[in-house]
Amino acid sequence: MREIRFDRFGGPEVLTLHTDAPTPEPAPGEVLVQVAFAGLNPLDFKIRDGSSGRAKDLALPAGTGREMAGTVIGAGSELDEAELGSRGLTVGTRVFGMRGPEDPRGVAAEVIAISADDLAPIPGEIPEEDLPRWAGLALVGLTAIATVQDTARVAKGESVLVHGGAGGVGQLLIPMVQEAGASAVYATGRAANAERIRELGAVPLAYDALDWEAELQRLTEGRGVDVVLDTHYHSTFLPSLDQLADGGRIVALPTLADLSPALERGLEARIPAIVPGRDRLDRLAQGIRAGRYPLEVSEVLPVAEIAEAHRRLEEGHTRGKLVLDLRA
């Protein structure tokens, strides 16, 4: 089968498409999935170049990618037909999901073995052209839930600033903070993405066309916001500290973010941790089917263009999600 791997840390050029990789054998409790599409995330290139904490103990050569959508084609010894049926994961079922935090294996392969606990069925019939959205849903969706619900604890009536509102995580953060009852949502992004941010329900702050800090102060009459959700961090974290209302809090999404500048000022600052689970995957499935989470896929690239896909990820201006087609 085909599988993307890298045998050393480095730039996109270290990613290699192997055409003779062995088909994996599912361990007890695992499901065998024929992957149709794999979602791409900044975490992928941070693992590939060695800058992510997840790269520290990674055995090379290694696969790439964390989330996917595909079809169940088999299962390990502990999962008989009855057990698969109770989970909604019988052979032939379309599924989506992401590897749990303790599973370092990639998903950019034609067939993968993955824990049944890390998968959920795609409910109902969906058109083939909609499948890439499901491949890009799990990681950003679980990140958004952890950010809004577990870490920021957004409450009814609070105002929220989202940095990177048109990005993959941002496009789910905006509707989720609205679900939590936020009274006002602002989101930074390029001017070209302002309309998309409006469609999602936030007030756009076009950082490449105006002074977003001054504009936020104007819009909030100098009060600032109760919560900042910062998907960018490097250029936005420090300026955002001056945009917090009294008692406000900030959540930085990069796992290696340095929170000390906020903590030294007595501000509440935290980093979210993804909590996997079937209940949360089902929530995402229901939300996307109901139209509450209108996640956008900006481009689907063939598997042979994995290096180019990583280059675009590193540029940092991707709108919505990039998805890799494992069938092409």
pLDDT digit string, tens, across residues 301-311: 999 999 999 99
With a pLDDT cut of 70, the percent of the chain lying above it is 100
Quick one: pLDDT at residue 316? 80
Shared-domain flag, residues 99 and 212:
no
Is residue 279 pLDDT above 80, yes or no?
yes
Model confidence at 198, in pLDDT bands (50, 70, 90)? Answer: very high
Shared-domain flag, residues 72 and 91:
yes
Please provide residue 120's backbone torsions phi and psi, each rounded to the nearest 5 degrees. -145, 150
CB within 8 Å of 162: residues ≥ 6 apart: 170, 173, 174, 177, 185, 186, 187, 188, 202, 229, 231
Shared-domain flag, residues 161 and 266:
yes
Shared-domain flag, residues 14 and 68:
yes
277: alpha, beta or left, given left = phi > 0 and alpha = psi -120 to 50?
left
Q: Would you tell me how many other CB atoms lie within 10 Å of the CB of residue 225?
A: 25
Nearest to 106 by CA among 11, 167, 13, 21: 21
Instruction: Decide: helix, strand or coil at residue 321.
Output: strand
In a domain, 285, yes or no: no
Distance, in Å, from the CA atom of 176 to the CA atom of 292, rounded to the nearest integer, reads 9
In a domain, 284, yes or no: no
| Contact (CB, 8 A) for 66 and 100 | no
Dihedral sign, CA of 55, 57, 62, 68? Answer: negative
In a domain, 20, yes or no: yes
Boundaries of domain holding 248: 140-270
| Contact (CB, 8 A) for 47 and 87 | no
In a domain, 313, yes or no: yes
Is residue 317 pLDDT above 80, yes or no?
no
With a pLDDT cut of 90, the percent of the chain lying above it is 93
**Radius of gyration, alpha carbons of the chain:** 20
Shared-domain flag, residues 179 and 211:
yes
Nearest to 292 by CA among 193, 176, 138: 176
Nearest to 135 by CA among 56, 221, 70, 82: 70
pTM of the model: 0.95
Model confidence at 122, in pLDDT bands (50, 70, 90)? Answer: very high
Is residue 318 pLDDT above 90, yes or no?
no
Shared-domain flag, residues 129 and 12:
yes
Is residue 158 pLDDT above 90, yes or no?
yes
Nearest to 255 by CA among 272, 238, 268: 272
- In sequence order, what are the beta bridge partners of 162? 187, 229
Distance, in Å, from the CA atom of 155 to the CA atom of 291, rounded to the nearest integer, reads 22
- Owner of token pair 């702050």: 205
Shared-domain flag, residues 207 and 179:
yes
- Owner of token pair 């992004």: 189
Shared-domain flag, residues 263 and 309:
no
In a domain, 275, yes or no: no
Q: What does the pLDDT look like over 219-261, one tens digit per residue?
A: 999 999 999 999 999 999 999 999 999 999 999 999 889 999 9
Q: What does the pLDDT look like over 18-38, one tens digit per residue?
A: 999 999 999 999 999 999 999
Shared-domain flag, residues 173 and 118:
no
In a domain, 286, yes or no: no
Shared-domain flag, residues 200 and 145:
yes
Quick one: pLDDT at residue 328? 80
Shared-domain flag, residues 65 and 190:
no
Count the domains in the chain: 2
In a domain, 282, yes or no: no
Is residue 181 pLDDT above 90, yes or no?
yes
Is residue 62 pLDDT above 90, yes or no?
yes
Between the alpha carbon of residue 248 and those of residues 46, 182, 201, 258, the distances in Å are 30, 14, 22, 18
Q: What does the pLDDT look like over 10-21, one tens digit per residue?
A: 999 999 999 999
Shared-domain flag, residues 321 and 196:
no
In a domain, 289, yes or no: no
| Contact (CB, 8 A) for 235 and 205 | no
CATH number (domain holding residue 171): 3.90.180.10
Quick one: pLDDT at residue 17? 96
| Contact (CB, 8 A) for 110 and 2 | yes
Please, what is the average pLDDT of the chain?
96
- In sequence order, what are the beta bridge partners of 144? none
